[in-house]
Structure 1
Amino acid sequence: MNPEQPYAPGHAASQTQHHEWRTASNSAAHLLPHLHRAAQQLQQQQQATPRPLQLLDVGAGSGTISASLAQHLAPLGGTVLATDISDDILARAAAHAADVGAAGNMAFRRASVYALPFADGAFDVVHAHQVLCHLKAPVEAVREMVRVCRGGGGGGGLVALRESDLHSWCVWPETEGLRKFHRLMVATLVANGGEDRGGRKLLSWVLEAGVDREDVEAGFGAWCFSTSEDKRVWGESMISRLQSGQMRDKGLEMGITTVEDIEDMIKAWREWIETEGATLGLMNGEVIVKKN
């Protein structure tokens, strides 16, 4: 597997704007109770020679979740190493960490999820959010993340994954323009080699990677965009992607959309942002692997 498989949508502002809405609280809530418990156990078990809990965030992108996790771990002495395959997006993540005061217990390194440059069991916790659905070989990526996760004992041994399921969208008002957008988004993700049903397949990917079913907690968590600010962040990002971006270019290149269709989609998102009763719900598959 090519260790440099690119992130097909790219890291332009139009693609990452809505990513930067994400925090540990709204996008990694399934991990937080386990994370705090693991850090506390580590402190208690190693009082004589304490060491910090070490978390690896794979495919960190703009790093807003990474920085938020670092803030959760700071009082407990934990550290976060954020990785991505793009030097530019890692620089942006480092700048964000500095802006929010999270840089003190963070580090950044370029790395591919297919070939993580770390020893077996190097980290207590490994986290990835919306990474596998963009990969051509998600099972191989899971296997690599499990490899660098330390076994249980001493508070660690957790792999936390979360993936969207694009067929779980629940939007209102459900206009034709937004239906066109959804079809375009699904088609371009699949054409790029991604998986549009990643959320529902997540558990099966983990099991295919060799993890025992008894060591996995699986569930689903939702995003909800309904406040004026949340709708603005999401809707404006989708408009930007339609005005200029890989999804627009790919759709036109494939002949599955037209400039006129794109204008309809942009109009639909603008109307959605301004509609007081508008909502968007998105389902995400979630997994916690407890490595023994």
Structure 2
Amino acid sequence: MSQESGHVYTHGHHESVLRSHSWRTAQNSAAYLLPYLKPNMTILDVGCGPGTISTDLAKTYVPEGHVTGLDVPDIMDKARAHAASEGVTNVTFTPGDALHLPFPDASFEVVHAHQVLQHVADPVQMLREMRRVAKPGGIVATRENDMSGMVWYPEIEGMKEWLQGYMQVARANGGEPDAGRRLHVWAKEAGFPAESLTLSVGTWCFYTPEERAWWGGLWADRSVSSNFASTALKNGIYTQEGLQKIAETWRRWTSDENGWCTLIHGELIARV
């Protein structure tokens, strides 16, 4: 994604953010798409981050095809290094803007994005671009958080306030944190007929001690160190003390042996 187009990635690429992104695979983050793939397909992965989903798709699901990952320049080296470490050669990474994709019309059989539309100022324009570069008969696929549907246990003091603050920060950056429930509406506005759309819901769930330590720990770190923190301070949504309290809230949840958290994602398959 590019800030030149008027949208800002809420989290940035701090280590605590990449810790989350690097965990993502095709299976845990794009399972809804996998039944549609064939070994020789060409795929564009918009907003590919450190390239773990892109590389997994190339290695496991389209070994005779090719995957192109696109994101901001400062993450490309990490994506290329990951692909090289996996010995995957049928994936390439290129810098670019999600709202102005640098490819001709009808370039790819599948155009995919994972948790990108929620961060852009004009998700309809991004879907139009994804549709433009997809071949006739191809697929546009996207999976997006619906943050209001996030559920946790137990009811740790401060968690509701964190979620409210997160929503404010995301919207201050021009995004929509409840993107999952809006995908079908945005797709129709982008020119996809209603009958071309297939909708589903996917979840992540964290509850083992290891999962809690990882998930809660990265959110505690994001709260004080990532772009989330600087945006929150800049817009007066939190003070530095308030951000520290958020981090402490997440650590309390992490240390609770009964801790459980799930996120829901809206999923969209749109036929071109």
Q: Which residue of 2 aligns with 1:49?
A: none
Amino acid at match of 2:243: I
- The corresponding residue for 1:253 is 234
Q: Secondary structure at the match of 2:262?
A: strand
The 1:4/1:193 distance shift into structure 2, 3 A limit, reads: closer
| 2:149 aligned residue | 168
Amino acid at match of 1:55: I
The whole-number CA distance in structure 1 between the counterparts of 2:159 and 2:10 is 22
Residue matched to 1:233: 214
- Whose Rg is larger? 1
Within a 5 Å distance, the mapping from 1:110-125 to structure 2 comes to 110-125=95-110
> Are the equivalent residues in 1 in contact too, given 2:156–2:252 (CA < 8 A)?
no
Q: What residue number does 1:20 align with? A: 22
List gaps (5 residues or longer) in structure 1.
41-51
Quickly say closer, same or farther: Cα 1:8–1:266, change in 2 above 3 A: closer
Q: In the alignment, which of 59, 80, 85 is matched to residue 67 of structure 2?
A: 80
- CA 1:83–1:4: 2 relative to 1, 3 Å: farther
**89-98 vs 131-140, which moves further:** 89-98
- Matched with 2:59 is 71
- Out of 85, 89, 109, which is 2:94 matched to? 109
CA shift digits 1:243-290 (9 cap, x unpaired): 222222222232222333323222221122222221111111100012
- Find the residue that maps to 1:224 and give its secondary structure: strand
Write the distance in 2 (CA, Å) between the matches of 1:74 and 1:246.
34
Judge conservation of contact 1:115–1:144 (CA < 8 Å) in 2.
Answer: yes
Matched, 1:57 2:42: no
CA contact (8 A) 2:7 2:119 kept: no
Asked if 1:243 is matched to 2:187, the reply is: no
Q: In 2, distance between residues paired with 1:194 and 1:222? A: 21
Please list, as runs of the form range in 1=range in 2, the aligned pairs for 1:1-292 lying within 5 A after superposition.
3=5, 5-35=7-37, 39=38, 52-75=40-63, 77-84=64-71, 86-101=72-87, 103-152=88-137, 157-291=138-272
Q: TM-score w.r.t. structure 1 length?
A: 0.87
Please give the alpha-carbon distance, in whole angstroms, between the structure 2 residues aligned to 1:179 and 1:6.
Answer: 24
Question: Secondary structure at the residue paired with 1:133?
Answer: helix
Deviation at 1:180, TM superposition (A): 2.2
Which letter maps to 1:57?
Answer: D
Quote the sequence identity (%): 41
Kept in 2: contact 1:159–1:288 (CA 8 A) = yes
Equivalent pair of 1:2/1:114 in contact (CA under 8 Å): no
State the alpha-carbon separation in 2 of the partners of residues 176 and 64 from structure 1: 34
1:82 Cα deviation from its structure 2 partner = 0.3
